[in-house]
Amino acid sequence: MTPPSAPWLGAVALGDGTVRFRLWAPAARRVELLLDGRAHTMAPEDDGCHCLTLRAAAGARYRYRIDGGEPLPDPASRWQPDGLHGDSAVVDPTAHAWQDPAWRGRPWHEAVVYELHVGSCGGYRGVAEQLPRLAQWGITAIELMPLAQFPGRRNWGYDGALPFAPAAAYGHPDELRALVDRAHALGLMVLLDVVYNHFGPDGNHLGGYAPMFFRDDLPTPWGAAIDFRVPQVQRFFIDNALMWLREYRFDGLRLDAVHAIRPPAFLGQLREAVYQALPPDRQVHLVLENEDNRASLLGPGGYTAQWNDDFHNALHVMLTGETDGYYAAYAREPERLLARVLGEGFAYQGQAMHDGRLRGEPSAQLPPTAFVAFLQNHDQVGNRAFGERLRELVDEPRLRAATALLALCPMIPLFFQGEPWGSRAPFLFFTDFEPPLDAQVREGRRREFARFPAFADAHARGAIPDPNAPETFARSQVRIDEAGAGEGARWAAWFAALLALRHRHLVPLLPQARALGAGVPGPGAVEARWSLGALELQLAANFGDAPVPLAAFPGARVLHAENGAGDGERLPPAGFVARLRDAP
Protein backbone atom coordinates (compact mmCIF):
# COMPACT_ATOMS: atom_id res chain seq x y z
CA MET A 1 0.00 0.00 0.00
CA THR A 2 1.30 3.45 -0.91
CA PRO A 3 1.72 5.37 2.37
CA PRO A 4 -0.64 8.33 2.79
CA SER A 5 0.98 11.75 2.42
CA ALA A 6 -1.88 13.63 4.09
CA PRO A 7 -4.84 12.77 6.31
CA TRP A 8 -7.81 11.38 4.39
CA LEU A 9 -10.76 12.03 6.72
CA GLY A 10 -11.76 14.62 9.27
CA ALA A 11 -11.20 18.36 9.49
CA VAL A 12 -7.79 19.10 7.99
CA ALA A 13 -6.39 22.63 8.20
CA LEU A 14 -4.86 23.48 4.81
CA GLY A 15 -2.65 26.32 6.00
CA ASP A 16 -4.41 29.10 4.12
CA GLY A 17 -7.23 29.75 6.57
CA THR A 18 -9.43 27.03 5.08
CA VAL A 19 -10.29 23.60 6.38
CA ARG A 20 -11.17 20.53 4.31
CA PHE A 21 -13.93 18.43 5.89
CA ARG A 22 -14.33 14.86 4.62
CA LEU A 23 -16.56 12.02 5.87
CA TRP A 24 -16.70 8.48 4.50
CA ALA A 25 -20.44 7.74 4.45
CA PRO A 26 -21.09 5.38 1.50
CA ALA A 27 -24.63 4.56 2.65
CA ALA A 28 -25.67 8.23 2.95
CA ARG A 29 -27.65 10.08 0.27
CA ARG A 30 -27.03 13.58 1.68
CA VAL A 31 -24.49 14.83 4.21
CA GLU A 32 -24.49 18.30 5.72
CA LEU A 33 -21.69 19.97 7.63
CA LEU A 34 -22.98 21.95 10.60
CA LEU A 35 -20.23 24.50 11.22
CA ASP A 36 -20.64 27.10 13.95
CA GLY A 37 -24.42 26.78 13.72
CA ARG A 38 -24.78 26.91 9.91
CA ALA A 39 -25.58 23.99 7.57
CA HIS A 40 -23.54 23.36 4.41
CA THR A 41 -24.26 20.55 1.94
CA MET A 42 -21.18 18.44 1.26
CA ALA A 43 -20.22 17.18 -2.20
CA PRO A 44 -20.32 13.40 -2.76
CA GLU A 45 -17.18 11.71 -4.12
CA ASP A 46 -16.74 8.48 -6.04
CA ASP A 47 -15.36 6.48 -3.12
CA GLY A 48 -18.34 7.11 -0.84
CA CYS A 49 -16.89 10.20 0.80
CA HIS A 50 -18.58 13.57 1.18
CA CYS A 51 -16.27 16.59 1.14
CA LEU A 52 -16.34 20.36 1.56
CA THR A 53 -13.67 23.06 2.04
CA LEU A 54 -14.57 26.22 3.98
CA ARG A 55 -12.86 28.97 5.88
CA ALA A 56 -12.62 28.00 9.55
CA ALA A 57 -10.33 28.73 12.46
CA ALA A 58 -8.77 26.34 14.95
CA GLY A 59 -11.35 25.61 17.63
CA ALA A 60 -14.34 25.95 15.32
CA ARG A 61 -17.12 23.55 16.36
CA TYR A 62 -18.83 21.27 13.87
CA ARG A 63 -20.94 18.13 13.38
CA TYR A 64 -22.31 16.12 10.47
CA ARG A 65 -26.02 15.60 9.68
CA ILE A 66 -26.74 12.53 7.56
CA ASP A 67 -29.98 12.20 5.60
CA GLY A 68 -31.67 14.66 7.93
CA GLY A 69 -30.96 12.70 11.09
CA GLU A 70 -29.54 13.78 14.42
CA PRO A 71 -26.22 15.68 14.19
CA LEU A 72 -23.23 13.43 14.89
CA PRO A 73 -19.60 14.03 15.82
CA ASP A 74 -16.90 13.36 13.24
CA PRO A 75 -15.57 9.75 13.46
CA ALA A 76 -12.16 11.22 12.57
CA SER A 77 -12.51 14.15 14.98
CA ARG A 78 -9.17 15.48 16.25
CA TRP A 79 -10.72 17.04 19.37
CA GLN A 80 -13.93 16.69 21.39
CA PRO A 81 -13.86 19.62 23.84
CA ASP A 82 -17.11 18.57 25.54
CA GLY A 83 -16.52 14.83 25.42
CA LEU A 84 -17.65 11.93 23.28
CA HIS A 85 -21.15 13.17 22.48
CA GLY A 86 -20.32 16.86 22.07
CA ASP A 87 -19.24 18.88 19.06
CA SER A 88 -16.08 18.07 17.19
CA ALA A 89 -13.54 20.89 16.90
CA VAL A 90 -10.95 21.91 14.32
CA VAL A 91 -7.34 21.45 15.42
CA ASP A 92 -4.29 22.96 13.73
CA PRO A 93 -1.45 20.47 14.37
CA THR A 94 1.15 23.02 13.25
CA ALA A 95 0.28 25.53 15.96
CA HIS A 96 2.45 23.90 18.63
CA ALA A 97 6.06 25.17 18.66
CA TRP A 98 8.11 22.03 19.22
CA GLN A 99 11.00 22.61 21.61
CA ASP A 100 13.18 19.76 20.36
CA PRO A 101 12.66 19.53 16.58
CA ALA A 102 15.90 17.56 16.17
CA TRP A 103 14.64 14.59 18.22
CA ARG A 104 14.76 11.37 16.20
CA GLY A 105 14.16 8.81 18.92
CA ARG A 106 16.30 6.21 20.67
CA PRO A 107 17.34 2.67 19.72
CA TRP A 108 14.95 -0.02 20.95
CA HIS A 109 17.59 -1.91 22.92
CA GLU A 110 17.87 1.10 25.25
CA ALA A 111 14.20 0.88 26.20
CA VAL A 112 13.16 0.53 29.83
CA VAL A 113 9.42 1.08 29.63
CA TYR A 114 7.08 2.59 32.23
CA GLU A 115 3.39 1.99 31.47
CA LEU A 116 0.95 4.52 32.88
CA HIS A 117 -2.66 5.62 32.76
CA VAL A 118 -2.77 9.35 32.07
CA GLY A 119 -5.97 10.01 34.03
CA SER A 120 -4.79 8.36 37.23
CA CYS A 121 -1.51 10.29 36.99
CA GLY A 122 -3.15 13.72 36.84
CA GLY A 123 -3.72 14.26 33.12
CA TYR A 124 -1.11 15.38 30.60
CA ARG A 125 0.29 18.02 32.94
CA GLY A 126 0.43 15.60 35.85
CA VAL A 127 2.37 13.06 33.80
CA ALA A 128 4.77 15.76 32.63
CA GLU A 129 5.55 16.62 36.26
CA GLN A 130 6.55 13.00 36.95
CA LEU A 131 8.97 12.70 34.04
CA PRO A 132 12.16 14.11 35.63
CA ARG A 133 12.01 11.59 38.46
CA LEU A 134 11.28 8.69 36.10
CA ALA A 135 14.26 9.65 33.96
CA GLN A 136 16.43 9.95 37.07
CA TRP A 137 15.55 6.37 38.04
CA GLY A 138 16.62 5.02 34.63
CA ILE A 139 13.29 4.81 32.80
CA THR A 140 13.90 5.58 29.10
CA ALA A 141 10.37 5.24 27.66
CA ILE A 142 6.88 5.93 28.94
CA GLU A 143 3.93 4.07 27.45
CA LEU A 144 0.52 5.74 27.70
CA MET A 145 -2.61 3.62 27.92
CA PRO A 146 -5.07 4.48 25.09
CA LEU A 147 -6.09 8.11 24.66
CA ALA A 148 -8.91 7.80 22.10
CA GLN A 149 -12.02 9.71 23.22
CA PHE A 150 -14.17 7.51 25.47
CA PRO A 151 -17.52 7.95 27.28
CA GLY A 152 -17.45 10.11 30.40
CA ARG A 153 -14.35 11.29 32.25
CA ARG A 154 -12.95 8.00 33.59
CA ASN A 155 -11.95 4.98 31.53
CA TRP A 156 -9.00 2.69 30.91
CA GLY A 157 -9.13 3.82 27.27
CA TYR A 158 -10.08 0.52 25.63
CA ASP A 159 -13.67 1.78 25.23
CA GLY A 160 -12.66 4.54 22.83
CA ALA A 161 -15.10 5.42 20.03
CA LEU A 162 -13.30 8.31 18.29
CA PRO A 163 -9.74 7.08 17.77
CA PHE A 164 -8.29 10.33 16.36
CA ALA A 165 -9.36 12.52 19.31
CA PRO A 166 -7.17 12.56 22.45
CA ALA A 167 -9.42 12.25 25.49
CA ALA A 168 -10.69 15.67 26.56
CA ALA A 169 -10.66 14.68 30.24
CA TYR A 170 -6.83 14.70 30.22
CA GLY A 171 -6.28 18.14 28.68
CA HIS A 172 -6.00 19.94 25.35
CA PRO A 173 -4.23 18.26 22.40
CA ASP A 174 -1.47 20.86 22.67
CA GLU A 175 -0.91 19.78 26.29
CA LEU A 176 -0.34 16.27 24.98
CA ARG A 177 2.20 17.65 22.52
CA ALA A 178 3.85 19.54 25.38
CA LEU A 179 4.05 16.27 27.35
CA VAL A 180 5.81 14.55 24.45
CA ASP A 181 8.11 17.57 24.09
CA ARG A 182 9.02 17.44 27.78
CA ALA A 183 9.74 13.74 27.61
CA HIS A 184 12.04 14.16 24.62
CA ALA A 185 13.93 16.95 26.37
CA LEU A 186 14.67 14.46 29.16
CA GLY A 187 15.73 11.75 26.71
CA LEU A 188 12.54 9.73 27.16
CA MET A 189 10.72 7.98 24.34
CA VAL A 190 6.92 8.15 24.39
CA LEU A 191 4.91 5.14 23.23
CA LEU A 192 1.12 4.97 22.85
CA ASP A 193 -1.23 2.03 23.24
CA VAL A 194 -3.72 2.01 20.34
CA VAL A 195 -6.85 -0.12 19.90
CA TYR A 196 -7.55 -1.16 16.31
CA ASN A 197 -9.48 -4.37 16.99
CA HIS A 198 -12.79 -2.86 18.19
CA PHE A 199 -14.71 0.28 19.18
CA GLY A 200 -16.23 0.89 22.58
CA PRO A 201 -19.90 0.14 23.37
CA ASP A 202 -21.00 3.79 23.32
CA GLY A 203 -20.57 6.60 20.79
CA ASN A 204 -19.64 4.79 17.58
CA HIS A 205 -22.07 5.61 14.73
CA LEU A 206 -20.13 4.26 11.75
CA GLY A 207 -22.47 1.28 11.29
CA GLY A 208 -25.32 3.63 10.40
CA TYR A 209 -23.71 5.38 7.41
CA ALA A 210 -20.74 3.10 6.64
CA PRO A 211 -22.06 -0.41 7.34
CA MET A 212 -19.23 -2.02 5.33
CA PHE A 213 -16.87 -0.88 8.10
CA PHE A 214 -18.00 -4.01 9.98
CA ARG A 215 -18.65 -7.67 9.22
CA ASP A 216 -21.27 -9.90 10.84
CA ASP A 217 -19.64 -13.25 10.00
CA LEU A 218 -16.88 -12.94 12.59
CA PRO A 219 -18.01 -12.68 16.23
CA THR A 220 -15.80 -10.87 18.74
CA PRO A 221 -16.13 -10.17 22.50
CA TRP A 222 -16.93 -6.55 21.57
CA GLY A 223 -19.63 -7.09 18.94
CA ALA A 224 -19.35 -6.86 15.15
CA ALA A 225 -15.79 -7.27 13.89
CA ILE A 226 -14.06 -4.50 11.97
CA ASP A 227 -13.68 -5.49 8.30
CA PHE A 228 -10.00 -5.07 7.49
CA ARG A 229 -10.60 -6.41 3.96
CA VAL A 230 -12.04 -3.02 2.96
CA PRO A 231 -9.45 -0.51 1.63
CA GLN A 232 -11.17 2.47 3.26
CA VAL A 233 -11.08 0.72 6.64
CA GLN A 234 -7.40 -0.01 6.19
CA ARG A 235 -6.75 3.63 5.35
CA PHE A 236 -8.72 4.81 8.40
CA PHE A 237 -6.44 2.98 10.83
CA ILE A 238 -3.20 3.62 8.92
CA ASP A 239 -4.01 7.32 8.98
CA ASN A 240 -4.63 7.05 12.71
CA ALA A 241 -1.24 5.48 13.33
CA LEU A 242 0.48 8.12 11.23
CA MET A 243 -1.37 10.93 13.02
CA TRP A 244 0.05 9.90 16.39
CA LEU A 245 3.55 9.48 14.96
CA ARG A 246 3.58 12.64 12.83
CA GLU A 247 1.36 15.19 14.54
CA TYR A 248 2.19 14.20 18.15
CA ARG A 249 5.69 12.78 17.51
CA PHE A 250 5.18 9.58 19.47
CA ASP A 251 8.15 7.25 19.24
CA GLY A 252 6.10 4.12 18.80
CA LEU A 253 2.79 2.36 19.15
CA ARG A 254 1.70 -0.72 21.05
CA LEU A 255 -1.13 -2.43 19.14
CA ASP A 256 -3.70 -3.95 21.47
CA ALA A 257 -4.91 -7.56 20.98
CA VAL A 258 -3.94 -7.95 17.33
CA HIS A 259 -5.04 -11.59 17.40
CA ALA A 260 -8.55 -10.15 16.96
CA ILE A 261 -7.61 -8.38 13.69
CA ARG A 262 -8.81 -10.36 10.66
CA PRO A 263 -7.41 -10.88 8.16
CA PRO A 264 -4.01 -10.57 9.86
CA ALA A 265 -2.45 -9.41 6.59
CA PHE A 266 -3.49 -5.90 7.62
CA LEU A 267 -0.72 -5.93 10.21
CA GLY A 268 1.85 -6.15 7.44
CA GLN A 269 0.13 -3.37 5.50
CA LEU A 270 0.13 -1.12 8.54
CA ARG A 271 3.78 -1.74 9.37
CA GLU A 272 4.90 -1.17 5.78
CA ALA A 273 2.86 2.03 5.42
CA VAL A 274 4.22 3.48 8.67
CA TYR A 275 7.87 2.87 7.89
CA GLN A 276 7.54 4.10 4.29
CA ALA A 277 5.80 7.29 5.36
CA LEU A 278 8.33 8.37 8.01
CA PRO A 279 11.84 9.75 7.46
CA PRO A 280 14.49 7.00 7.51
CA ASP A 281 16.40 8.69 10.34
CA ARG A 282 13.44 8.46 12.75
CA GLN A 283 13.54 5.55 15.19
CA VAL A 284 9.94 4.41 15.54
CA HIS A 285 9.00 1.18 17.31
CA LEU A 286 5.86 -0.89 16.68
CA VAL A 287 5.00 -3.38 19.43
CA LEU A 288 2.29 -6.04 19.48
CA GLU A 289 0.02 -7.64 22.02
CA ASN A 290 -0.79 -11.02 20.45
CA GLU A 291 -2.20 -14.04 22.28
CA ASP A 292 -1.33 -16.19 19.27
CA ASN A 293 2.46 -15.81 19.83
CA ARG A 294 3.06 -15.35 16.10
CA ALA A 295 6.84 -15.12 16.10
CA SER A 296 6.81 -14.70 12.31
CA LEU A 297 5.52 -11.13 12.78
CA LEU A 298 8.68 -10.18 14.68
CA GLY A 299 12.35 -9.87 13.86
CA PRO A 300 14.13 -8.19 10.90
CA GLY A 301 11.62 -6.57 8.58
CA GLY A 302 8.79 -7.16 11.04
CA TYR A 303 7.40 -5.63 14.20
CA THR A 304 9.86 -4.44 16.81
CA ALA A 305 8.67 -6.57 19.71
CA GLN A 306 5.74 -8.27 21.44
CA TRP A 307 4.49 -8.17 24.99
CA ASN A 308 5.50 -11.54 26.41
CA ASP A 309 2.59 -12.80 28.50
CA ASP A 310 4.39 -16.12 28.93
CA PHE A 311 7.10 -14.44 31.02
CA HIS A 312 4.53 -12.88 33.32
CA ASN A 313 2.17 -15.83 33.60
CA ALA A 314 4.76 -18.48 34.41
CA LEU A 315 6.51 -16.24 36.93
CA HIS A 316 3.20 -15.17 38.52
CA VAL A 317 2.29 -18.81 39.17
CA MET A 318 5.70 -19.38 40.74
CA LEU A 319 5.34 -16.32 42.97
CA THR A 320 1.69 -16.65 44.03
CA GLY A 321 0.58 -20.23 43.39
CA GLU A 322 -2.50 -18.91 41.57
CA THR A 323 -3.74 -21.22 38.80
CA ASP A 324 -7.21 -19.84 37.95
CA GLY A 325 -8.17 -18.49 34.53
CA TYR A 326 -5.31 -18.03 32.08
CA TYR A 327 -2.83 -19.14 34.74
CA ALA A 328 -4.12 -22.71 34.30
CA ALA A 329 -1.90 -23.09 31.22
CA TYR A 330 1.14 -22.50 33.48
CA ALA A 331 0.05 -24.53 36.51
CA ARG A 332 2.19 -27.55 35.65
CA GLU A 333 5.94 -27.01 35.72
CA PRO A 334 5.96 -23.20 35.62
CA GLU A 335 9.74 -23.32 36.17
CA ARG A 336 10.20 -25.23 32.93
CA LEU A 337 7.98 -22.78 31.04
CA LEU A 338 9.80 -19.75 32.47
CA ALA A 339 13.16 -21.34 31.59
CA ARG A 340 11.92 -21.81 28.02
CA VAL A 341 10.88 -18.15 27.91
CA LEU A 342 14.35 -17.04 29.03
CA GLY A 343 16.08 -19.37 26.60
CA GLU A 344 13.79 -19.20 23.56
CA GLY A 345 11.35 -16.28 23.83
CA PHE A 346 7.90 -17.86 24.08
CA ALA A 347 6.88 -20.72 26.36
CA TYR A 348 4.25 -21.92 23.89
CA GLN A 349 5.66 -22.33 20.37
CA GLY A 350 3.00 -24.51 18.77
CA GLN A 351 2.35 -26.84 21.71
CA ALA A 352 -1.07 -27.63 23.14
CA MET A 353 -2.17 -25.66 26.18
CA HIS A 354 -4.15 -27.11 29.10
CA ASP A 355 -7.37 -26.85 27.10
CA GLY A 356 -5.94 -28.61 24.04
CA ARG A 357 -5.63 -25.43 21.96
CA LEU A 358 -2.40 -25.13 19.96
CA ARG A 359 -0.64 -21.84 20.52
CA GLY A 360 2.41 -20.10 19.16
CA GLU A 361 5.23 -20.42 16.65
CA PRO A 362 8.95 -21.22 17.11
CA SER A 363 10.72 -18.15 18.54
CA ALA A 364 14.27 -19.21 19.45
CA GLN A 365 15.64 -17.46 16.34
CA LEU A 366 14.53 -14.05 17.62
CA PRO A 367 16.76 -11.75 19.71
CA PRO A 368 15.83 -11.22 23.36
CA THR A 369 14.93 -7.60 22.59
CA ALA A 370 12.00 -8.82 20.45
CA PHE A 371 10.15 -9.53 23.72
CA VAL A 372 8.78 -7.11 26.31
CA ALA A 373 8.81 -8.74 29.73
CA PHE A 374 6.91 -7.59 32.82
CA LEU A 375 5.79 -8.58 36.29
CA GLN A 376 2.77 -6.28 36.25
CA ASN A 377 0.78 -4.18 33.79
CA HIS A 378 -2.69 -2.67 33.52
CA ASP A 379 -4.22 -6.03 32.58
CA GLN A 380 -2.51 -8.20 35.14
CA VAL A 381 -3.24 -5.82 38.02
CA GLY A 382 -6.51 -4.21 36.94
CA ASN A 383 -8.18 -7.43 35.85
CA ARG A 384 -7.98 -8.79 39.36
CA ALA A 385 -11.20 -8.28 41.28
CA PHE A 386 -9.53 -5.95 43.79
CA GLY A 387 -6.66 -4.63 41.68
CA GLU A 388 -3.94 -5.85 44.04
CA ARG A 389 -0.31 -5.37 43.14
CA LEU A 390 2.36 -7.97 43.80
CA ARG A 391 3.40 -5.93 46.86
CA GLU A 392 0.20 -7.23 48.47
CA LEU A 393 0.50 -10.80 47.18
CA VAL A 394 4.20 -11.71 47.50
CA ASP A 395 6.72 -11.36 50.33
CA GLU A 396 9.33 -8.68 49.77
CA PRO A 397 12.41 -10.94 49.33
CA ARG A 398 10.80 -12.92 46.50
CA LEU A 399 9.41 -9.80 44.89
CA ARG A 400 12.86 -8.19 44.96
CA ALA A 401 14.32 -11.31 43.34
CA ALA A 402 11.66 -11.26 40.63
CA THR A 403 12.13 -7.54 39.99
CA ALA A 404 15.88 -8.02 39.70
CA LEU A 405 15.33 -10.84 37.21
CA LEU A 406 13.17 -8.53 35.10
CA ALA A 407 15.50 -5.53 35.35
CA LEU A 408 18.63 -7.46 34.37
CA CYS A 409 17.13 -9.79 31.77
CA PRO A 410 18.18 -9.04 28.14
CA MET A 411 14.53 -8.78 27.16
CA ILE A 412 13.00 -5.28 27.23
CA PRO A 413 11.65 -4.65 30.75
CA LEU A 414 8.31 -2.95 31.34
CA PHE A 415 7.25 -1.61 34.73
CA PHE A 416 3.73 -0.53 35.66
CA GLN A 417 2.92 2.83 37.23
CA GLY A 418 3.97 2.94 40.87
CA GLU A 419 6.19 -0.14 40.59
CA PRO A 420 9.51 1.77 40.84
CA TRP A 421 8.68 2.85 44.40
CA GLY A 422 6.79 -0.28 45.45
CA SER A 423 3.37 1.35 45.49
CA ARG A 424 0.66 -0.58 47.29
CA ALA A 425 -2.24 1.40 45.79
CA PRO A 426 -4.63 -0.81 43.80
CA PHE A 427 -5.31 -0.29 40.14
CA LEU A 428 -8.97 -1.08 39.60
CA PHE A 429 -11.16 -1.33 36.53
CA PHE A 430 -13.04 1.99 36.23
CA THR A 431 -15.57 3.49 33.82
CA ASP A 432 -17.99 6.41 33.60
CA PHE A 433 -20.93 5.02 31.61
CA GLU A 434 -24.47 6.38 31.53
CA PRO A 435 -27.46 4.12 32.36
CA PRO A 436 -28.20 1.39 31.44
CA LEU A 437 -24.63 0.60 30.34
CA ASP A 438 -23.25 1.36 33.80
CA ALA A 439 -25.34 -1.39 35.42
CA GLN A 440 -24.57 -3.84 32.61
CA VAL A 441 -20.83 -3.35 33.07
CA ARG A 442 -21.08 -3.59 36.86
CA GLU A 443 -23.06 -6.82 36.81
CA GLY A 444 -20.94 -8.27 34.02
CA ARG A 445 -17.80 -7.62 36.04
CA ARG A 446 -19.27 -9.35 39.07
CA ARG A 447 -20.44 -12.36 37.04
CA GLU A 448 -16.96 -12.67 35.58
CA PHE A 449 -15.33 -12.99 38.99
CA ALA A 450 -18.00 -15.33 40.32
CA ARG A 451 -16.29 -18.02 38.20
CA PHE A 452 -13.03 -17.66 40.13
CA PRO A 453 -12.88 -19.54 43.45
CA ALA A 454 -10.58 -16.89 44.93
CA PHE A 455 -13.24 -14.19 44.44
CA ALA A 456 -16.47 -16.17 44.79
CA ASP A 457 -17.07 -15.15 48.39
CA ALA A 458 -16.47 -11.48 47.61
CA HIS A 459 -18.91 -11.76 44.71
CA ALA A 460 -21.53 -13.29 47.00
CA ARG A 461 -21.10 -10.40 49.44
CA GLY A 462 -21.32 -7.84 46.62
CA ALA A 463 -17.82 -6.64 47.50
CA ILE A 464 -16.44 -6.46 43.95
CA PRO A 465 -15.78 -2.72 43.37
CA ASP A 466 -18.31 -0.96 41.14
CA PRO A 467 -16.37 0.17 38.02
CA ASN A 468 -18.65 3.20 37.60
CA ALA A 469 -18.27 4.52 41.14
CA PRO A 470 -16.04 7.64 41.37
CA GLU A 471 -14.26 6.19 44.41
CA THR A 472 -13.09 3.22 42.32
CA PHE A 473 -11.16 5.64 40.13
CA ALA A 474 -10.02 7.68 43.12
CA ARG A 475 -8.48 4.60 44.76
CA SER A 476 -6.46 3.97 41.61
CA GLN A 477 -4.61 7.31 41.68
CA VAL A 478 -0.82 7.11 41.52
CA ARG A 479 1.11 9.33 43.95
CA ILE A 480 4.74 9.58 42.95
CA ASP A 481 5.43 11.70 46.03
CA GLU A 482 5.32 8.40 47.97
CA ALA A 483 8.81 7.81 46.57
CA GLY A 484 10.16 10.76 48.54
CA ALA A 485 10.28 9.21 52.02
CA GLY A 486 10.12 6.00 54.03
CA GLU A 487 9.42 2.69 52.36
CA GLY A 488 8.86 4.33 48.97
CA ALA A 489 12.21 6.11 49.00
CA ARG A 490 14.03 2.93 50.05
CA TRP A 491 12.41 0.91 47.27
CA ALA A 492 12.99 3.66 44.66
CA ALA A 493 16.71 3.90 45.51
CA TRP A 494 17.08 0.13 45.16
CA PHE A 495 15.14 0.18 41.87
CA ALA A 496 17.29 2.99 40.45
CA ALA A 497 20.46 1.11 41.37
CA LEU A 498 19.20 -1.95 39.46
CA LEU A 499 18.52 0.10 36.34
CA ALA A 500 21.89 1.80 36.62
CA LEU A 501 23.51 -1.64 36.42
CA ARG A 502 21.41 -2.49 33.38
CA HIS A 503 22.33 0.71 31.54
CA ARG A 504 26.02 0.50 32.39
CA HIS A 505 26.75 -3.19 31.85
CA LEU A 506 24.03 -4.66 29.63
CA VAL A 507 22.41 -2.07 27.37
CA PRO A 508 25.52 -1.29 25.26
CA LEU A 509 25.86 -5.00 24.44
CA LEU A 510 22.19 -5.91 23.89
CA PRO A 511 22.33 -5.61 20.06
CA GLN A 512 24.62 -8.68 20.19
CA ALA A 513 22.58 -10.62 22.74
CA ARG A 514 21.61 -14.22 22.04
CA ALA A 515 20.48 -16.93 24.41
CA LEU A 516 22.88 -19.75 25.32
CA GLY A 517 20.40 -21.93 27.18
CA ALA A 518 18.25 -22.09 30.29
CA GLY A 519 17.28 -24.73 32.80
CA VAL A 520 15.63 -25.63 36.09
CA PRO A 521 18.16 -26.23 38.87
CA GLY A 522 15.43 -27.18 41.37
CA PRO A 523 11.78 -26.68 42.36
CA GLY A 524 10.77 -23.04 41.92
CA ALA A 525 14.08 -22.01 40.37
CA VAL A 526 15.44 -21.01 36.95
CA GLU A 527 18.90 -20.36 35.51
CA ALA A 528 19.72 -18.85 32.10
CA ARG A 529 22.74 -17.62 30.15
CA TRP A 530 23.23 -15.21 27.24
CA SER A 531 26.10 -14.20 25.01
CA LEU A 532 26.57 -10.43 24.89
CA GLY A 533 29.44 -10.46 22.45
CA ALA A 534 32.56 -9.91 24.52
CA LEU A 535 30.76 -10.99 27.71
CA GLU A 536 28.46 -13.74 28.91
CA LEU A 537 25.62 -13.13 31.37
CA GLN A 538 24.16 -15.62 33.82
CA LEU A 539 20.94 -15.02 35.75
CA ALA A 540 19.61 -17.40 38.40
CA ALA A 541 16.58 -17.01 40.68
CA ASN A 542 15.04 -19.27 43.30
CA PHE A 543 11.39 -18.68 44.22
CA GLY A 544 11.06 -22.04 45.96
CA ASP A 545 11.32 -22.99 49.63
CA ALA A 546 14.66 -24.80 49.62
CA PRO A 547 18.19 -24.01 48.40
CA VAL A 548 19.08 -25.23 44.90
CA PRO A 549 22.43 -25.74 43.16
CA LEU A 550 23.89 -22.71 41.42
CA ALA A 551 25.25 -23.71 38.03
CA ALA A 552 28.99 -23.23 37.65
CA PHE A 553 30.09 -20.14 35.72
CA PRO A 554 33.92 -20.14 35.91
CA GLY A 555 35.67 -16.79 35.97
CA ALA A 556 32.45 -14.87 36.69
CA ARG A 557 32.06 -11.72 38.75
CA VAL A 558 28.83 -10.89 40.55
CA LEU A 559 26.93 -8.02 38.97
CA HIS A 560 24.06 -8.10 41.47
CA ALA A 561 22.72 -10.43 44.14
CA GLU A 562 19.64 -10.56 46.35
CA ASN A 563 18.96 -12.28 49.66
CA GLY A 564 22.35 -13.88 50.25
CA ALA A 565 22.83 -15.29 46.75
CA GLY A 566 26.13 -15.30 44.90
CA ASP A 567 28.37 -16.27 47.82
CA GLY A 568 28.51 -20.01 47.21
CA GLU A 569 27.46 -22.93 45.09
CA ARG A 570 23.83 -22.91 46.24
CA LEU A 571 21.03 -20.45 45.65
CA PRO A 572 18.94 -19.79 48.79
CA PRO A 573 15.16 -19.31 48.82
CA ALA A 574 14.26 -15.87 47.41
CA GLY A 575 17.79 -15.69 46.07
CA PHE A 576 18.81 -14.02 42.84
CA VAL A 577 22.20 -13.54 41.26
CA ALA A 578 23.44 -11.94 38.04
CA ARG A 579 27.01 -12.78 37.02
CA LEU A 580 29.19 -11.66 34.12
CA ARG A 581 32.32 -13.18 32.65
CA ASP A 582 34.50 -12.66 29.63
CA ALA A 583 33.35 -14.76 26.68
CA PRO A 584 35.53 -17.85 26.22
Nearest to 524 by CA among 405, 367, 369: 405
List beta partners, residue 191: 143, 252
Q: Residue 91: is it exposed, middle or buried by C-beta count within 10 angstroms (0-12/13-18/19+)?
A: buried
Buried b (16+ CB within 10 A) or exposed e, 458-496: bbeeeebbbbbbeebbebbebebebbeeeebeebbebbb
Tell me how crowded residue 503 is: count the other CB atoms within 10 A of its CB: 14
Handedness of CA 201, 255, 1, 90 (dihedral sign): positive
- d(CA 217, CA 569) in angstroms, rounded, equals 60
* 289 a catalytic residue: yes
Q: What are phi and psi of 255, to 5 degrees?
A: -90, 120
Tell me how crowded residue 391 is: count the other CB atoms within 10 A of its CB: 18
At 542, which helix (H) or strand (E)? strand 535-542
What are the strands of the beta sheet with 576-582, ordered from one edge?
514-519, 525-531, 535-542, 576-582, 557-562
Catalytic residue from among 256, 438, 527, 562? 256
Q: Around 249, how many Cα atoms within 13 Å sit in the side-chain half-sphere?
A: 26
DSSP states of 345-394 as a string? S-S-SSEE-TTS-EE----TTS-GGGEEEES--HHHHHTSTT---HHHHS
- d(CA 34, CA 558) in angstroms, rounded, equals 68
Q: Around 499, how many Cα atoms within 13 Å sit in the side-chain half-sphere?
A: 24
Catalytic residue from among 32, 115, 251, 289? 289
List beta partners, residue 268: none
Tell me the catalytic residues: 256, 289
